[in-house]
């Protein structure tokens, strides 16, 4: 996991260590943010966007996109507080440079997917996919070049059961590792380039 600690991202690591350990829960970072940080609320089509200024410099560095089902009335009355269930997307600019570094997508209030740029170069380095609010798959770009080359798969107990790797830089996995009780038990290789393993080796104790 050492690659998750790029040079300039110590603060980021602190903030987002909960991602790294696979226990991100929707709303964890938003509960501490008071509504007074909202700089503007805007309706875009069938969506409502709330913008927040987290560091007080007057520029928004977090956006929340809500389903606009319960829109405030057209007479300009104060927007209703939206419920977590209506949250569709959250974007965060962690280094306050005007570019969002974390994109989180929600399904019925549960975190469904998140994309994180760990070194703030504008290219995503980690993507997490959740099922039922639990981490199911993690894609990683260890070179911070925006190219995913490692895929990890987790069962519903949060344990790693499969890992795939792209070793020839064609963006498709060609080596697989299979785990049982955290132990590597089998490896598989794609030798004919069809994207599926057909050559396997069992790992003996």
List residues binding Ca ion (CB under 5 A).
Answer: 53, 55, 57, 59, 61, 93, 95, 97, 99, 101, 117, 119, 121, 123, 125, 144, 166, 168, 170, 172, 174
- The CA distance from 25 to 160, in Å, is 19
Provide the minimum distance between the beta carbon of 37 and Ca ion in the complex, in angstroms, as a whole number: 9
Phi/psi-derived region of residue 57, left when phi > 0, alpha when psi is between -120 and 50, beta in every other case? alpha
Q: Residue 86 or residue 104: which is nearer to Ca ion going by CB? A: 104
Provide the minimum distance between the beta carbon of 63 and Ca ion in the complex, in angstroms, as a whole number: 12
DSSP codes, 56-103: SSSS--EEEEEEGGGPPPTT-PPPPPPPGGGEEEEEE-TTSSSS--EE
Helix (H, G, I), strand (E, B), or coil: what is residue 12? helix
Q: Residue 25 or residue 97: which is nearer to Ca ion going by CB? A: 97
Q: Residue 63 or residue 86: which is nearer to Ca ion going by CB? A: 63
Provide the minimum distance between the beta carbon of 111 and Ca ion in the complex, in angstroms, as a whole number: 20
Q: Residue 110 or residue 137: which is nearer to Ca ion going by CB? A: 137
Provide the minimum distance between the beta carbon of 67 and Ca ion in the complex, in angstroms, as a whole number: 25
72 contacts 55 by C-beta, under 8 angstroms = no
For 124, the token pair is: 């995503």
């Amino acid at each position: 996991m050492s690659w998750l600690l790029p040079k300039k991202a110590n603060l980021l690591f602190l903030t987002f260590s909960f991602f790294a350990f696979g226990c991100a829960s929707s709303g964890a970072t938003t509960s501490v943010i008071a509504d007074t940080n909202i700089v503007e609320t805007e309706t875009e089509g069938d969506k409502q966007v709330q913008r927040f200024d987290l560091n007080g410099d007057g520029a928004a560095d977090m956006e929340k996109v809500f389903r606009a089902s319960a829109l405030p009335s057209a007479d300009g009355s104060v927007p209703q507080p939206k419920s977590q269930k209506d949250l569709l997307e959250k974007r965060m600019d962690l280094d306050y440079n005007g570019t969002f570094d974390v994109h989180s997508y929600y399904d019925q209030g549960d975190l469904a997917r998140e994309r994180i740029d760990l070194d703030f170069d504008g290219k995503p380095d980690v993507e997490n996919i959740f099922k039922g609010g639990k981490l199911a798959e993690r894609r990683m770009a260890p070179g911070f070049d925006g190219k995913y080359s490692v895929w990890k798969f987790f069962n519903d107990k949060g344990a790693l059961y499969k890992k795939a790797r792209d070793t020839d830089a064609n963006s498709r996995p060609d080596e697989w590792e299979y785990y049982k009780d955290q132990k590597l038990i089998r490896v598989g290789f794609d030798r004919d380039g069809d994207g599926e393993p057909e050559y396997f080796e069992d790992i003996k104790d």
